Each structure stands twice: as C-alpha cells, then as structure tokens.
Structure 1
C-alpha cells in the first residue's frame, strides 16, 4: 500500500465523528480530498469503494479523509438527511486541514446524495477552502423525475416488446401494473409540478450552487444507472438547471456500462482517473476551464 492510514475523531456540534485519513508516503501535494458519504453508507463504501479511492488518490500524492456523518457508522448522534449534513462536512474539512497543515485546497468528492450534499454545502457556506468538486451520479429525485425516467427508459422499451402485448391480451399483465404505468405517465406529463414545491427546493439549491461555484468540477455519470439518467432528464428540463448548465463542468465523463457504485473494476478505475484529472486541473489551472458552448450534460467525454 503506497500510503499510510490513521484513524481520527473530531467534534461536530457536540457529537463525535469517526474518520480515516490516508496520507501519501511521498511528498504530499497541497490538495486534500474529503469523501462525503451518502446514506445509508459509512466510510468504507459499497464493496470498499471509498477505501480503494482514498488509497489510489493518496498513492498519487494527495491527502484524503473519508468520514462517517452523524448517526452513521462509528459516529455518534442521530441520523441526518443529506440536506442536513453541512455541519458534518464543515467539521471534516477542518479536521483534514488540522491533521495535514500542508493542505491548502480542498476538493469535495461525493456519490449520489453525497454529491448533492457537497453542492448544497458549497451553496450554503461559500467555504473558500473548497476549490473543487467531484460529483458522481448526483441525486435529484422527486416523484416527477422518477416517473419521467421510468417512462422514458423502462416503459417505452417494454411497450416495444411483443411479449408485453401477448401478456396484456392474455390477461397476465396485472391491473396494478397498468395502474402504475398510467400513474407514472400522469406524473411525467406534469413535470416538476408532480413533486410539489417542497420536494423541488433542494434541486433548485443545487442548480444555484453549481452556477455560483468558481472552481473546477467533475461530473461523472454511470451509463447503467437510473440515478444518473434522472439527473440528465431533470437537469435538461428544469429552468434553473438549464441556466446553471451554461457553466459546463471542467470534466464530464459518462462511463457507458457502469452501475451506480462503479462496482466493476474498469468503472472504478475510470472514476479514479477522472478524479486525478480534476486534481491535476486544480494544481495547474487552465486558462479556460469552462467551454463557451458546452455539450449536453449526458454526452460522453470526447464526443
């Protein structure tokens, strides 16, 4: 293992959070990565995803902290929703810098609702220490966005299959299934109105945080993941997101066959590679990080 690891505990509003700090064996860069963990997960991640990521980044010279939010893993306190972990992230950023004083720039790395939490943190705090974002399959789900995704990517395909119509004619398609299809179509046609104003609030806050963030961003989308498909559908239909996407991420990558947690080794390797590219951009800023005419958010890198 080309890094050293140590356990940390630190305070967050009177509760004790537990973390693992991965330190390079070689001379460390001035960049630190805080892996924000969404629920229901703890600092190791599915199939040790975050362990492998932290070690790969530390082997490349970067300091990495992965931690348990309050109420998860070995951290104390009550479980929080992803919309309420801003204090946890702030405490983790401080803990990393206190443990590794050479770190001057922080990158937040998050998957699913942790990516959403990272964006919300930046929007709420404008923390000057955070200079980069790595957002993997961001979570934007509402009842309407889920319905739109299911209608487009599941039901449309099913309706093209002869077997579906045979089952329908023979009565083997249950009324509950047809009722579910019709309900999803109604929600999909209703668009954003289906989730209600309260359900849409965090997606709007995400879009505004995206537009306001002035550092490089990585957007990584898994081709075989409904959460990623929902993000594409939602962000290309919603007015706030359409405005936000005028600012394209510095790096956009679609991994065609990847699942939600990048469980295949080639997918996880792609995630590590893209993260390292983002860190290199932060270390050596380019004159223009955001192209004037961005590709659609769902377009594959290099297309």
Structure 2
C-alpha cells in the first residue's frame, strides 16, 4: 500500500489546460477540449469520448473527476466536445458521424503531450460505441474502456424487456392480481414485443450493435467493459450476448475483460460507483 500511495501525485501538481483546435473535414468549426496533465506523463494516455447529450464535463462532473483521478496516477487525459456540443462550433451530430472529431482530438492530444505513444479511448453509452467504431482506424489506439455501450435496437430492447421485466413479474403476486382484474393487457404487450423482435436486414445492418460488432471484431487492442448493475442499457448488452453466438465468441476473447458495478445506475452517479469505475480504469490501464 505504501508503494501505491507514493506513486499518486497531489492534485495541486496536476495541470489543466484549455485547448482549441480545428476539425480536418470542417474548416469553419473549432473544437474545445480540456487536457489534464500529470507532472510526468507516461506513454499511455486516455481520450474521453463523450456521448450525447453530454459535454466534456460529463454527468455529475464524472469526466472531470475521472481525468483528475487518472492524472494523479501519471496518465494524461483529454476530454473534448464534438462539433455542435458544449463549446465546440459546427453542426450537432450523433455517434455515427464523429470520426473526424475523434481524429482531430487525437492529433491535438499527441501534439500537446510529446511523451504519448499510445492512447486508450474511454466512452459511456453511445460515446463507447463511437469510440469502438473509431478504434480500428488508428494503430496508436491500444485499448478501449467501454461503459454500458449503446447497442439498442427494437429487437434487443424487446428481448431485454421480456427477460428482465416481464419474466420477473410472473413471480409477483401483484401482477397476477392485476391480470385477473383486467388492468393488464398482456396479449397486446406481448404482441408488441414480438413485432419489435422482427427486424429486416437493412435495419439490422444500421443498428448500433451491428456497427459495434464489426468494429470490435477488427480491433486488435485490449477491451475493458464496465456494466452498471441497475441499468437498462447494460441489460440490453447482456441480452445481446445471451442471444447471439457470434457476440459470445467475441466476448470470450483473452483480450477482453468485463466487470459489473452492482447497484450502479447508467452514469455511475453515486460516490461508491464512481470510485469503483475510477479504480477499475486506473488498474487496467496500468496493467
């Protein structure tokens, strides 16, 4: 424990720098980021890829606190706003159209921290999916930290709802009382779920799960998955793996590690959940 504590720099020694930089495919738009730098940055940094509708601070200042925690352990961190989000200029976009933004942030990160040799992309929800989709394009990206990655489609949502909502309700006496009293239209609900499960091929190809699968299949780095114990998005991920053999095989790769934070909500908003995420990330990056 003494050795571990001796490697942690005081927060007063950690510097924060505001950066403003251009995006290659949009000469009119400048992006804004905050670089958090330790006294002696190591060769591996972290780029936080935000998800909508968050900006670079994150919900309950999650990204600010994570950046400072990692920087105190020698890891430089850059968090930034996409075009059209926060203080960055340009048109608003979603996770499927931010490759140029991530590339611009990476270029700025390496220019600002000469000690960098590789970067881990960190993302929550659709920020995780955006990070994963970009990762195979840049050999300097050595790892991905994905929190509750966005995989939603009508089919996956329907299966997750059936498995984690309707099936547990069958064990509740209150459900059967409502059903007997006619206040639950079970047939209509199940018909709606059955319709949602059936997707055509075009819808499947454009679903975030399909995009994410192809990206992760091509990525050669390491992956840390962190799931919330109390979140529908995390349940959708678990349902996806449970119902798809190709996903299960991909998830059993030796380069993957999966952790769950019991009781955590989607953004890990409690102090205990946030601390658990911070330590999981720092230990995994160091290893």
Q: Structure 1 length as normaliser, TM-score?
A: 0.84
Distance 1:130 1:241 in 2: 22
The answer to whether the Cα contact below 8 Å between 1:145 and 1:230 also exists between their aligned partners in 2 is yes
Q: Which residue of 2 aligns with 1:180?
A: 189
1:11, distance to aligned residue in structure 2 (A): 0.6
The answer to whether the Cα contact below 8 Å between 1:8 and 1:19 also exists between their aligned partners in 2 is yes
Distance 1:43 1:238 in 2: 34
Q: Deviations over 1:98-138 (max 9, x none)?
A: 11111111110000111111111124x2x011111111111
User: Aligned match of 1:253 in 259, 269, 274?
Assistant: 259
The aligned runs of 1:229-248 (5 Å cut-off) are: 229-248=235-254
Q: Which residue of 2 aligns with 1:68?
A: 81
**Equivalent residue of 1:119, what SS?**
helix
The answer to whether the Cα contact below 8 Å between 2:81 and 2:87 also exists between their aligned partners in 1 is yes
**Equivalent residue of 1:184, what SS?**
helix
Distance 2:200 2:37 in 1: 43
Q: Which residue of 1 aligns with 2:7?
A: none
Q: Which residue of 2 aligns with 1:32?
A: 45
1:194, distance to aligned residue in structure 2 (A): 2.7
1:182, distance to aligned residue in structure 2 (A): 3.0
**Equivalent residue of 1:204, what SS?**
helix
User: Aligned match of 1:165 in 176, 201, 210?
Assistant: 176
Q: Which residue of 1 aligns with 2:279?
A: 273
1:211 aligns with 2:217: yes
1:141 aligns with 2:152: yes
Unpaired runs of at least 5, structure 2? 1-10
Q: Which residue of 2 aligns with 1:44?
A: 57
1:178, distance to aligned residue in structure 2 (A): 5.2
1:41, distance to aligned residue in structure 2 (A): 0.6
Unpaired runs of at least 5, structure 1? 282-303
Q: Which residue of 2 aligns with 1:119?
A: 132
Q: Which residue of 2 aligns with 1:128?
A: 139
1:277, distance to aligned residue in structure 2 (A): 1.7
214-223 or 164-173, larger mean C-alpha shift: 164-173
1:241, distance to aligned residue in structure 2 (A): 1.8
Distance 1:145 1:64 in 2: 33
1:94, distance to aligned residue in structure 2 (A): 0.7
The answer to whether the Cα contact below 8 Å between 1:137 and 1:220 also exists between their aligned partners in 2 is yes
Q: Which residue of 2 aligns with 1:16?
A: 30
Q: Deviations over 1:254-296 (max 9, x none)?
A: 1111111001111111111111122112xxxxxxxxxxxxxxx
Q: Structure 2 length as normaliser, TM-score?
A: 0.89
Distance 1:279 1:57 in 2: 9
**Equivalent residue of 1:194, what SS?**
coil
Distance 1:81 1:140 in 2: 14
1:196, distance to aligned residue in structure 2 (A): 4.5
The answer to whether the Cα contact below 8 Å between 1:29 and 1:61 also exists between their aligned partners in 2 is yes
The answer to whether the Cα contact below 8 Å between 2:225 and 2:259 also exists between their aligned partners in 1 is yes
Distance 1:75 1:119 in 2: 22
